[in-house]
Chain A
Amino acid sequence: MSALLEVKNLQVRVEDREILHGLSLTVNKGEVHAIMGPNGSGKSTLSHVIAGKPGYEVTGGEILFKGEDLLEMSPDERAAKGVFLAFQYPVEIPGVATMTFLRTALNAQRKARGETELSTPDFLKKVREVAASLNIPQDMLRRGVNVGFSGGEKKRNEVLQMALFQPSLCILDEMDSGLDIDALRIAADGVNALRSSDRAMVVITHYQRLLNYIVPDYVHVMSKGRVVKSGGKELALELEESGYAQFEEQAA
């Protein structure tokens, strides 16, 4: 059985500056991995490259997803194949109702997989269920995508989409930033509800607190574009104690 995601010796440049210098990471189905690391260490960059954001030049290494070459696929193909990125900064799309967006996206993914479109009643039923479980009011779904949403609402909207699309790989980039304690718990419950033996999660965070709610199987420390240490969930506690200083030298 091959891993769900295999990042091998990945080297990435942005505008002639190398940001990732040979990063490797293996994620199997059913696992939850946490990635921690100081600001600017390349966490978001890694998530963007996995999702296929333009503007990054991969100069070395490879990424396999379900055994296939991910870097050969367009970002929408990756999404249809089950790659989901919950953004650190979800964007606003004025004039496009959230409901319309969810439906368009879900159907685009289904179509790409050769599945039939969901009927309107089935779709509505599904969205309402998920929204209710995340404490998202119906009127929010009628508003423009993320337009005028609070920071917490934006993050919940990301989890809503994750629940709706049922991806096999969820990358959560600082899902906890800007969330108050209650919102964090609700969002984390939403994420936990999606944990399954068919699915893996990569949780990027700065804080141990999130990992109390979403308990990881593995923790990786990133510094200056590399994974410098991996361990179990206790590694996060250790970091909380001692900070990143010890790794900074290591990476240099």
Chain B
Amino acid sequence: MPAELETVERVRRIDVDQYRYGFETIIESEKAPKGLSEDTVRFISEKKNEPAWMLEWRLEAFRRWQTMQEPTWARVDYPKIDYQDLYYYAAPKKKPELASLDEVDPEILKTYEKLGIPLREQEILAGVVRPEGERRVAVDAVFDSVSVATTFQKELKQAGVIFMPISEAIREHPDLVKKYLGSVVPTSDNFFATLNSAVFSDGSFVYVPPGVRCPMELSTYFRINERNTGQFERTLIIADKGAYVSYLEGCTAPQRDENQLHAAVVELVAHDDAEIKYSTVQNWYPGNSEGKGGVYNFVTKRGDCRGRNSKISWTQVETGSAITWKYPSCILRGDNSRGEFYSIAISNGYQQVDSGTKMIHLGKNTTSRIISKGIAAGKSQNTYRGLVSAHRKALGARNFTACDSLLIGDKCGAHTVPYVEAKNASALFEHEATTSKISEDVLFYCVQRGLSQEEAVGLVVNGFVKDVLQQLPMEFAVEAQKLISISLEGSVG
């Protein structure tokens, strides 16, 4: 039990310190008034200098949203959200300004250290402010990602890749945005996506022109820059004919945010022969020892394999959030298109995860593959929810699904809810599912060889999720591996 207590204690301390650092210092005038009305939507659009068509698009979504009901089918349980009691726009959140790492909670630093995050980057993540002159030098010289980003931007431009905040893209590439925004996740799609459409703050826009292989992972750049995009993120990625892009979202460092509700939308479009690989690591604040606080993460992610031979692959590592509601999906529209979903979802403490995927086979000879690894510890609930469907015309559709759950302790739960719909006889769907408890004998074997109990759990779990970890970009996989161990700390008593 001491390990668990220690974790509880740690989480409590971090909480308290967050307030000491003053998340209350947001400049009032930059905030939209509390609550959601047409005025809020206009306020946001105006703040972003958006063209009239964008405002109209948002307003339409808002009107639609007012007629919708919050979904209740997921296996998650949370107090009713009062949508009129939330802020929908605040100027980029001001991080507490600190003079040096000495002022940062040592527990947070310990986590950074365990993750192997370089010192300078630790400073940036923790919000350490350097004097003006020193800062530039330090950032350029020590922390690659930012200086590299500038170099990257040049290289991307040469390749013709557009990669910018979506708010900029709305102004600079209105034709592309108009054409694709909402074309995969329509404004009317679901309660949370519609809400996002009305009030989204920012996010990224990527367009890879025909035949271009994006010359780099759109990743390192992101680790730093994505922190402040706010609670209603909107991402749109288009790979034109024969293009390829690998995009990495998120950060292994713990992300803390006073916004409880996060409702992001991600849309991917792959044209003929194009491929998009989208990887996520989600590590939002999971809530305190009693399950209070913590982020509610209601995300709509969908990829449209619009063209022939196109491919979309989702890989996710979910370790954070109090509640996760997330089903990255693929619409396999083009003939011979392929969708993949690789997922690691870890829940500990009082976390509730309801996640999975949908593979919608519409085109001929479309294939999909689902590998889901759910790990439940503490008092958490971990549900895999998946849908595989084949349309009447989707001749020769194939799916392989493997869902494995691992339980640590006996107060948690793992659930698998697979739906299968085949509207034609030629579809071939295979489904395998296993649920197992972490074996005491295996843990003892490891500790007999010198590993601590927690190291042993980390090692065994990393073995369990290996197939999915392999799908992540190399340097990220190493961090994810450490993150998995960290998120299971205190899971064994």
Interface residue ranges, A against B (CB under 8 Å): 51-55, 74-76, 79-80, 84-85, 87, 90-96, 101, 104-106, 108-109, 112, 144, 161, 165
How many contacting A-B pairs (Cβ < 8 A)? 77
Structural contact, A96 and B460, CB atoms closer than 8 A: yes
- The smallest C-beta distance from B355 to any residue of chain A, in angstroms, reads 21
Report B39-53 residues with CB < 8 Å from chain A CB: none
- Which residues of the partner chain A approach B441 to less than 8 Å between Cβ atoms? 91
Structural contact, A87 and B445, CB atoms closer than 8 A: yes
C-alpha spacing A104/B455, complex, angstroms: 9
Structural contact, B451 and A85, CB atoms closer than 8 A: no
Other CB < 8 Å A-B pairs besides A79-B448, A91-B439, 14 of them?
A: A76-B450, A76-B453, A84-B448, A91-B445, A92-B442, A93-B460, A95-B466, A101-B446, A105-B449, A106-B450, A108-B450, A108-B455, A144-B463, A165-B449
Point out which of B444, B448, B451 has the most chain A C-beta atoms below 10 A from its C-beta.
Answer: B448
C-alpha spacing A95/B462, complex, angstroms: 7
- Which residues of the partner chain B approach A51 to less than 8 Å between Cβ atoms? 448
- The smallest C-beta distance from B183 to any residue of chain A, in angstroms, reads 39
- The smallest C-beta distance from B133 to any residue of chain A, in angstroms, reads 39
Judged by a CB distance under 8 angstroms, whether B259 is at the interface is: no
C-alpha spacing A90/B448, complex, angstroms: 11
Known contacts: A96-B459, A96-B463, A104-B459. The answer to whether A91 contacts B442 by CB under 8 A is yes
Point out which of A51, A55, A84, A101 has the most chain B C-beta atoms below 10 A from its C-beta.
Answer: A101
Judged by a CB distance under 8 angstroms, whether B452 is at the interface is: yes
Structural contact, A108 and B451, CB atoms closer than 8 A: yes
The 7 closest A-B pairs by CB, nearest first: A95-B463, A109-B450, A96-B463, A95-B466, A105-B449, A79-B450, A108-B450
Structural contact, B449 and A79, CB atoms closer than 8 A: yes
C-alpha spacing A93/B463, complex, angstroms: 7
- Which residues of the partner chain A approach B464 to less than 8 Å between Cβ atoms? 94-95
- The smallest C-beta distance from B482 to any residue of chain A, in angstroms, reads 13
Structural contact, A54 and B446, CB atoms closer than 8 A: no
Judged by a CB distance under 8 angstroms, whether B465 is at the interface is: yes
Q: Which of A80, A91, A95 contacts B450 (CB 8 A)?
A: A80
C-alpha spacing A87/B444, complex, angstroms: 11
C-alpha spacing A80/B463, complex, angstroms: 23
Structural contact, B459 and A76, CB atoms closer than 8 A: no
- The smallest C-beta distance from B38 to any residue of chain A, in angstroms, reads 53
- Which residues of the partner chain A approach B465 to less than 8 Å between Cβ atoms? 95
- Nearest-neighbor residue (CB-CB) of B460 within chain A: A93
Judged by a CB distance under 8 angstroms, whether B70 is at the interface is: no
Judged by a CB distance under 8 angstroms, whether B447 is at the interface is: yes
- Nearest-neighbor residue (CB-CB) of B467 within chain A: A95
Judged by a CB distance under 8 angstroms, whether B440 is at the interface is: yes
- Which residues of the partner chain B approach A101 to less than 8 Å between Cβ atoms? 446, 449, 459
- Which residues of the partner chain A approach B460 to less than 8 Å between Cβ atoms? 93, 96
Point out which of B441, B451, B452, B462 has the most chain A C-beta atoms below 10 A from its C-beta.
Answer: B451
- Which residues of the partner chain B approach A80 to less than 8 Å between Cβ atoms? 450
Known contacts: A54-B440, A76-B453. The answer to whether A93 contacts B459 by CB under 8 A is yes
Report B429-444 residues with CB < 8 Å from chain A CB: 439-442, 444
- Which residues of the partner chain B approach A106 to less than 8 Å between Cβ atoms? 450
Could you pull out 26 A-B pairs where Cβ atoms are within 8 angstroms?
A: A53-B448, A54-B440, A55-B440, A74-B452, A74-B453, A75-B444, A75-B448, A76-B447, A76-B452, A76-B453, A79-B447, A79-B450, A84-B448, A93-B442, A93-B445, A93-B459, A94-B464, A96-B459, A96-B460, A96-B466, A101-B446, A101-B449, A104-B455, A105-B446, A109-B450, A144-B463
- Which residues of the partner chain A approach B449 to less than 8 Å between Cβ atoms? 79, 101, 105, 108-109, 161, 165
